[in-house]
Structure 1
Amino acid sequence: MVTHIWRILSNKQYLWVKWIHEYRLKWKSFWDAPTVASASVGCRKLLSIRYLIRDIFISRIEDGNNTFTWHDIWSDNGPLANFISYRDIKLVGFCGQTMLYDICSDDSWLWYNEWHNKYPQLQHWVIDSHEHLFFNCSFSTQIWSYSASLSKLAIDGSTWKDVVSKLHPVAHRKSCDDIAAKLLFGVSVYFIWQERKRRLFNKSSMSCAKVKDLIYSTLLMKIMTIKWRHSRHVQIMKADWKVP
């Protein structure tokens, strides 16, 4: 039964799943659909056990087009419908079928700002966009400044577009400096992302100095494992990085 529920929630490409979404759920959230007497025994059985197993189904957000804002579990606070009243939802102009994609615009929430005071669970919510995560927060800004100081290629920037435009000309180059710059970019992104996950899910954090040390040591090990050609440029690069 749990497998059947998972297939419904994942909208798997089965004929019976499509039938349930179109004729039984009528594209409502599985968690909010009413149990009607005309439903088959199997459907009523699935709906009767849904709240017993609800906590094990966490929605994968992706672009938000397949996540029901109020009824799916996509945040640490559980379903938003558990504490946000349906009256408030309607007053903002949303409905039970509103998708997560529909409540975000330009890195901000489309609900009333007063909600952050009315509902304590929302007080510290911000949309963690790529621009904010990798470029606009103080932590990532320090990391990029450090990475830029290590590389002869200026890979710092304010947006993804800026960084990509700087890296694009060297994407296929194979000089030692260009390879080191591209490796440095990848390592920096990796450790910024790891720190984000650590703070969100483990409720812990590392200092900026520690992350800088990890970036340097990881890149140094990578440089040491590459089989470089014997040339003056490679020797200079190794000297700059203090490769033993």
Structure 2
Amino acid sequence: MSNHIWRLLSNKKSLWIQWIHAYRIGDRNFWDLPVPYDASWSWRKLLSIHHLVRKFFFFEVGNGENISVWFDNWCENGPLSEVISRRSIHAAGFHPNDKLCDIWHNNAWTWPIERHNLYHVINNTNQVIIRNTHDRLCWRDLSGNLCPFSVNIAWNSIRHCATDVDWFYIVWFAHCIPRHSFVLWLAMGNRLKTHDLTTRQSALDDHHILVWDRVRNKMQLQIQQHVCSDVASELAHITHCKSARVIEAKLLLGASVYFLWQERNARIFKNQTRSVDKLMEVIFSTVRLKFMSLRWKNSIQAQTLKASWKIN
């Protein structure tokens, strides 16, 4: 969405941009548009995120011909429309569509003197330098640095940042099975709604413990825990390792949590059950199919692992 707003404000040459300017924006400024109830979802979404992204779009002043003096973000005080109302703009003899070059001449505002005392933001915005260059739209990140727009920079500026967790590379890695990793990610945050292996119950279901014990033996790692987060903590010291044995452990952990969660849902909502042997068959066959799609190194460990999974 931020990319679309960037293209609109930059007035990129495309049929879509021209259509939007002709039939949606017209003679108004993008930041001044209300959110219509009868517009398409995409257009309403673009307008509804004004408050999230507006502060990041910043104009470097050139000749001032493409900068809305009221609605664009071009000075450190922010958009002037946030402190100066439309009524005040009209009362001073100006128009909401005025550009910066229209009211700034000879290094001074053409704003009436009596209004200077009313709006101190005008007095604080007295360092405008009009140049004989084009105005440049930039992205201003959280540190206040101006840079060209990119989706990566925009995402890092807008998203909520939290501290890194030690189990990240256990859940997400190059050879993961996405649906397994997603459910495992939910489990690590205690966000699964059903009572499965990942919950801290006083007495875990014997059925699930038997499944996990077999999976743990297959991993051939010294793991003593049954709770998902505790298992991940025990694996934390090898998260960055890319050996075949570690990849096997990660895939088995993800598949176990996924199919145990699936089994518990089937029992609660469908009254269906599978035996331990059937669950183990599903888990191991899924991991084996994933292994068959990988490219193996010609190492002793890799060949041993292929033999244990009966992969030619």
- TM-score (norm: length of structure 2): 0.40
- TM-score (norm: length of structure 1): 0.50
* Greater RCO (Cα-Cα under 8 Å, separation 6 or more): 2
